[in-house]
Chains A and B, each alone.
Chain A
């Protein structure tokens, strides 16, 4: 067996050498992705989980998975959406929604460069935007988006994280009402939402929405540099069809990129040109000091009507149902990736402003000027491949575009629009990511391609196989495939950043002194069990290697028992877990200094054990306790002990 592996390694090694024409001095693909034991990767990659609803954290170039951050989906491993503290995070106007489809992570920026404070990501299905705080790598805020359906053109941030945007993929009646579907045209509307981000604490607030024609809004990117103050949204279904969309939404030769002047929008807001619409949407905030989330229902939203407010939105004709809508590091070029085309259309921001000033219009849509295609066109990357989806930039004057149908990444030169290189993807690549690729300063060393189809690339695992990403070295003139690595869920989109910007800020523990949880027990002196009718609250602590208390009596069938458990540890990487036999919920996984709560409703008389679920120490197996459950009619007093015979 060992010999076989050795032979295979040799074969692979030879093969790599064979592919590499740069001579003996250049290192092999294996060496380039090898991060020695104990060493750290150079980049973090935040890769969306798609229908898993989560966000996974990888290291590059190794492709190693570090963490799956629960965002929109319940996660029993971390009690996300199961414990009392995080249930409010998944609250919406539709009630508790334990799942979503997470698509596009984007990292916060300052002056157009990644600052590594937050990652924003959209929930596509029940429209939401989540914020992940990179000091803890946890979701700390989720805001629902009203007047939106299929929040797809999201969650992209502006140059100073003034706003994170959301756009409706499915136009709908706004406000929602009972009406025939075939009266879509002219009656359904789109909305583009601008969620402000507090520069101090990152708090999100739905500042305003721009009401748009009933197209489908697909993706977005911010202007930067000279184009700062604009946000560009790609659209399809400018046909406004409502059925058999694959045909009916693909009839127009050109759809649009909608250029939204959000600085202008701010002026209109200041002038009071907005309408306040009644709404109902959830704003969920997780407080790090109380370790608890609260959900607040918000009741109105400010709306600006693009049809009525001149200068707010312009439409840039863009061929064939563009998907990605990408802005180069200088902010001058806006790339429309017409997914049913073989060409890439590149618009010029300078020309766009000139066309606006000189009113080079080619009609209008619902009162919104359509700019003349030829007058805004910077150039076309011709016959680059089939089905362009998404472009990122290396900061060296090159664009890298994925082509879904021809399954490849194509490198081209910004300005001359000539194709420089192409590399196949295995298979059918969707989006791609260069760390910092959506910023003024990309780290142009690697590109990650996220594929839609895997088939035979790994050991088979039945009909459902892993989804997959691929890493390419782009530091040379030619791209080089270095690594395949499996992903969690469907990797729709990703954002990457130099690890040095993030890792120093990563917290090691939560301070016990700063624990403001309502039911925290920060010292053993405060351990207790309290009864309030049928509700029982257990104020419990955990530290290597025991629970306090670990024997509880006086619980009765029919009680609702809240276990509020505080981890008294203040050492790095000493979480404890806790689970109770028969509890209709998940375990808790509690970090040092943190308090979490689970509810147990005992249904059977007996003595029932609980235990620590995360191997914490040499005495982990001894970290356990018992609860005595008596009949409902019993008059046994509540008592709790630790270490008594």
Chain B
């Protein structure tokens, strides 16, 4: 059983590497004038078009309300990949040598780091949606008189002016989640085994 758990931990540690292959997140913008919706994939090291030129066209749309252009690169594109490589390395070390409690510690580490990543993503989205050019062509206000922001949802679907924005995790994120789940499951497996052994 311990061997099985060790293999699960090994797979769990490797799965986040798929983030280098598959996108983490996708934001899709639907509007009547866009029979093919505009879309942007967020990778751990890049933004990419869902269809050719989508990011350019999102920028063109957004400049009317004074939003900044989606940057070519952000610091996170360096930090995230490094984080994934380091945690994978740690995970592999744990799978190779360490005691099952370390499986839990790795899981907690990953939860903390992922939450930090999501929070960072939220901050970027908030800034992107609220830090508007004061010379914006069109200015909108909320019913309470405050300046309307155009922050896309962190997760889920939201109407923003004439667009419906969808924001959902992609295969990369699911791989990360599954990897984390496996590490926790591996921990539980061993713990249950140990309890049985203790009882016996």
- Min CB gap A251→B, angstroms: 62
- Picked from B53, B57, B137, the residue with its CB within 8 Å of the CB of A619 is B137
- Is the pair A570, B137 in contact by a Cβ cutoff of 8 Å? no
- Is the pair B60, A543 in contact by a Cβ cutoff of 8 Å? yes
A543 to B53, CA, bound (A): 14
- Picked from B60, B64, B138, the residue with its CB within 8 Å of the CB of A571 is B60
Q: Looking across the interface, which residue of chain B has its beta carbon closest to that of A511? A: B52
Answer whether residue B56 sits at the interface, using C-beta atoms and an 8 A cutoff.
Answer: yes
- Is the pair A570, B57 in contact by a Cβ cutoff of 8 Å? yes
- Is the pair A570, B64 in contact by a Cβ cutoff of 8 Å? no
Interfacial chain B residues near A581, Cβ < 8 Å:
none
Known interface pairs A569-B60, A570-B53; 15 further A-B residue pairs with C-beta atoms within 8 A, sorted by A's residue number = A509-B53, A543-B60, A544-B60, A570-B52, A570-B56, A570-B57, A571-B53, A571-B56, A571-B57, A571-B60, A572-B36, A618-B64, A618-B138, A619-B64, A619-B137
- Min CB gap A592→B, angstroms: 9
Per-residue interface assignment for chain B, residues 40 to 71, with 1 indicating a CB less than 8 Å from any chain A CB and 0 otherwise: 00000000000011001100100010000000
Per-residue interface assignment for chain A, residues 523 to 549, with 1 indicating a CB less than 8 Å from any chain B CB and 0 otherwise: 000000000000000000001100000
- Min CB gap B57→A, angstroms: 5
A543 to B57, CA, bound (A): 11
Interfacial chain A residues near B64, Cβ < 8 Å:
618-619
A618 to B63, CA, bound (A): 12
Per-residue interface assignment for chain A, residues 586 to 611, with 1 indicating a CB less than 8 Å from any chain B CB and 0 otherwise: 00000000000000000000000000
Interfacial chain A residues near B137, Cβ < 8 Å:
619
Per-residue interface assignment for chain A, residues 485 to 509, with 1 indicating a CB less than 8 Å from any chain B CB and 0 otherwise: 0000000000000000000000001
Which A residues fall within an 8 A CB radius of B? 509, 543-544, 569-572, 618-619
Q: Looking across the interface, which residue of chain B has its beta carbon closest to that of A617? A: B64
A509 to B51, CA, bound (A): 13
- Min CB gap B99→A, angstroms: 55
Interfacial chain B residues near A572, Cβ < 8 Å:
36
Per-residue interface assignment for chain B, residues 108 to 143, with 1 indicating a CB less than 8 Å from any chain A CB and 0 otherwise: 000000000000000000000000000001100000
Which B residues fall within an 8 A CB radius of A? 36, 52-53, 56-57, 60, 64, 137-138
- Min CB gap B35→A, angstroms: 9
Q: Looking across the interface, which residue of chain A has its beta carbon closest to that of B63? A: A544
A543 to B59, CA, bound (A): 12
5 A-B pairs with CB atoms under 8 Å apart are A544-B60, A569-B60, A570-B57, A571-B53, A618-B138
Interfacial chain B residues near A543, Cβ < 8 Å:
60
Interfacial chain A residues near B60, Cβ < 8 Å:
543-544, 569, 571
Interfacial chain A residues near B52, Cβ < 8 Å:
570
A137 to B106, CA, bound (A): 60
- Min CB gap A591→B, angstroms: 14
Q: Which of B56, B60, B64 has the most CB of A within 10 A?
A: B60
Interfacial chain B residues near A618, Cβ < 8 Å:
64, 138
Interfacial chain A residues near B36, Cβ < 8 Å:
572
- Min CB gap A617→B, angstroms: 8
- Min CB gap B182→A, angstroms: 42
A569 to B61, CA, bound (A): 12
- Min CB gap A85→B, angstroms: 23
A429 to B80, CA, bound (A): 72
A544 to B137, CA, bound (A): 12
Q: Looking across the interface, which residue of chain B has its beta carbon closest to that of A38? A: B35
A437 to B52, CA, bound (A): 38
Interfacial chain B residues near A619, Cβ < 8 Å:
64, 137
A571 to B64, CA, bound (A): 16
Q: Which of B36, B52, B53 has the most CB of A within 10 A?
A: B53
Interfacial chain A residues near B57, Cβ < 8 Å:
570-571
A-B pairs, top 6 by smallest CB distance, nearest first, are A570-B53, A571-B57, A544-B60, A570-B56, A619-B137, A571-B53
A509 to B36, CA, bound (A): 14
Q: Looking across the interface, which residue of chain B has its beta carbon closest to that of A573? A: B33
Interfacial chain B residues near A544, Cβ < 8 Å:
60
Interfacial chain B residues near A570, Cβ < 8 Å:
52-53, 56-57
- Min CB gap A332→B, angstroms: 47
A570 to B52, CA, bound (A): 8
A569 to B57, CA, bound (A): 8
A543 to B64, CA, bound (A): 13
- Min CB gap A205→B, angstroms: 35
A618 to B56, CA, bound (A): 18
A544 to B58, CA, bound (A): 12
- Min CB gap B33→A, angstroms: 9
Interfacial chain A residues near B56, Cβ < 8 Å:
570-571
Interfacial chain B residues near A569, Cβ < 8 Å:
60
A570 to B138, CA, bound (A): 23
- Min CB gap B67→A, angstroms: 14
A514 to B137, CA, bound (A): 32
Q: Looking across the interface, which residue of chain A has its beta carbon closest to that of B137? A: A619
Q: Looking across the interface, which residue of chain A has its beta carbon closest to that of B64? A: A618
A619 to B53, CA, bound (A): 21
- Min CB gap B134→A, angstroms: 15
